[in-house]
Amino acid sequence: MEIDFLLIGQGLAGTALSYRLLKAGRKVLVMDLPHENQSSRIAAGLYNPITGKKMVKTWKGDVLFPEIEPFYEQLEKELEINFLYKKAIYRPFLSIEEQNEWMGYSGEEGFQAYFQEIFQQTHFPEVVNPYGGILLAQSGYLDIPTYLDTYRDYLIRLDAYREERYDEEFLMFTETGVRYKEINAKGIVYCNGLGTMGSKYFSNAPFAPVKGEILDIQQDFVPDEIINRGVFRIPLSNGNLRVGSTYTWHDLDSGPTERAKEEIFEKLDKLMVSNEKVLVAHRTGIRPATKDRKPFLGKHPEFSSVYIFNGFGAKGVSLTPYFSKVMTDLLLNNQNPEKEVNISRWK
Ligand SMILES: Cc1cc2nc3c(=O)[nH]c(=O)nc-3n(C[C@H](O)[C@H](O)[C@H](O)COP(=O)(O)OP(=O)(O)OC[C@H]3O[C@@H](n4cnc5c(N)ncnc54)[C@H](O)[C@@H]3O)c2cc1C
């Protein structure tokens, strides 16, 4: 079998990159273990331009956000299915000072693209928001399981997918690239999230896995908007709400914990006027995060046909549309990614 690129992993990373390569007319094969996916299938799928306790513009927001919706919408059209839910995010203000600060930002050019409206008084009576809040634009969520499953079917139709465990022991180098079993490729790309941690080619890549727990619940108040302060509360198409998530660097293997559930409920109870709720599901996953919280893109320093596209941490939905473009430029035009995200920043 002769192909251009063998991609390991079909999470958010492998999906976006393989699509860009196919659109550029390249032949790819994606090898994946969907039932072992530890991150993309658990994720809430949120993309949010203003994040964190202090509500700041997300890292590289101005280059990332123009790519997000057009990318997923193009795939929706191609696959004839809906998985992108564009939804405003409502972020209540915590104080009058914060309200004033954001009234100030609303006049600034760099922020205007992310604002829909600012409220100076309670906007939702069901939410604790005495100082009002801000409705953000260019936000929403991706139904990741639907996205991954329909894209996998598309790859299968193109004869570009294998459900198989990639075993590095079978990788060999040839004059033109690599050979894996009967597959000859110009290059191999590790898009397999934390699966890359066991690779001898990237054993020094400083991953810092972060466990996350997330709940599906039922509550009476189901607005169209996502509400986000301390926790996010996403209205799903089945009428449930997705709430979360936690961040821990320990207990990586212990599955759902009572402590995380309590943590999420505590934050939710602070956000909502009513504490009534029914728990429907409790899931956990591990984010392929990195020590400096920036992704890993690039080429192995010694084996020039071995590449990495990984480390998307807590933000795979918003990072992969833009960075899959950057990575495609490396694979096809030998254009090096900027230092901040280049794997070469680590020795
Ligand atoms: C609780 C939680 C909430 C989250 N919420 C959000 C959110 O709201 N928004 C957001 O943008 N991100 C969120 N994330 C983060 C998001 O899930 C990650 O950024 C994203 O999943 C990373 O995708 P990936 O493709 O790099 O890795 P993965 O999704 O881990 O995919 C890697 C794939 O490679 C496969 N694989 C591994 N080894 C092998 C092998 N040897 N052979 C074959 N296949 C292999 C795996 O089975 C898997 O399918 C969340 C994560 C968690 C855990």
pLDDT band at 197 (very low <50, low <70, confident <90, very high): very high
- Same domain flag for 199 and 222: no
User: 117 C-alpha to center of ligand 1: Å?
Assistant: 33
Number of domains in the chain: 2
Mutation pick for ligand 1 pocket among 7, 37, 39 (CB with most ligand atoms within 8 Å): 39
Asked whether 15 lines ligand 1 (CB < 6 A), one says no
Summarised one tens digit per residue, pLDDT across range 209-255 is 999 999 999 999 999 999 999 999 999 999 999 999 999 998 887 79
SS3 149: helix
- Same domain flag for 200 and 310: yes
Q: Which residue has the higher pLDDT, 301 or 109?
A: 301
Summarised one tens digit per residue, pLDDT across range 99-125 is 998 888 877 877 888 889 999 999 999
- Same domain flag for 153 and 276: no
Residue 144 near residue 236, CB atoms below 8 Å: no
> Cα–Cα distance between 127 and 108 in angstroms, integer?
28
Within a domain: 93: no
Query: Which of 269, 287, 305 is at the close of a domain?
Result: 287
Within a domain: 106: no
For residue 218, what are the domain limits?
210-287
Mutation pick for ligand 1 pocket among 7, 12, 197 (CB with most ligand atoms within 8 Å): 12
- Same domain flag for 192 and 302: yes
Query: Which of 287, 310, 325 is at the close of a domain?
Result: 287
Within a domain: 27: yes
- Is residue 245 reached through a cis peptide bond, with omega within 30 degrees of 0 on the bond before it? yes
- Same domain flag for 158 and 28: yes
User: 243 C-alpha to center of ligand 1: Å?
Assistant: 18
- Same domain flag for 278 and 151: no
User: 208 C-alpha to center of ligand 1: Å?
Assistant: 14
Within a domain: 166: yes
Mean pLDDT check: name the lowest of 52-66, 191-205, 265-279: 52-66
- Same domain flag for 246 and 304: no
Give the CATH number, domain containing residue 223: 3.30.9.10
The pLDDT of residue 38 is above 80: no
Within a domain: 134: no
Tell me which amino acid residue 293 is: R
Residue 183 near residue 194, CB atoms below 8 Å: no
- By alpha-carbon position, which residue is closest to atom 25 of ligand 1? 11
Query: Which of 265, 287, 309 is at the close of a domain?
Result: 287
User: 102 C-alpha to center of ligand 1: Å?
Assistant: 34
Within a domain: 214: yes
Asked whether 29 lines ligand 1 (CB < 6 A), one says no
* DSSP states of 200-214: SSSTTS-B--EEEEE
Asked whether 166 lines ligand 1 (CB < 6 A), one says yes
- Same domain flag for 273 and 148: no
Within a domain: 310: yes
Give the CATH number, domain containing residue 164: 3.50.50.60
- Same domain flag for 309 and 276: no
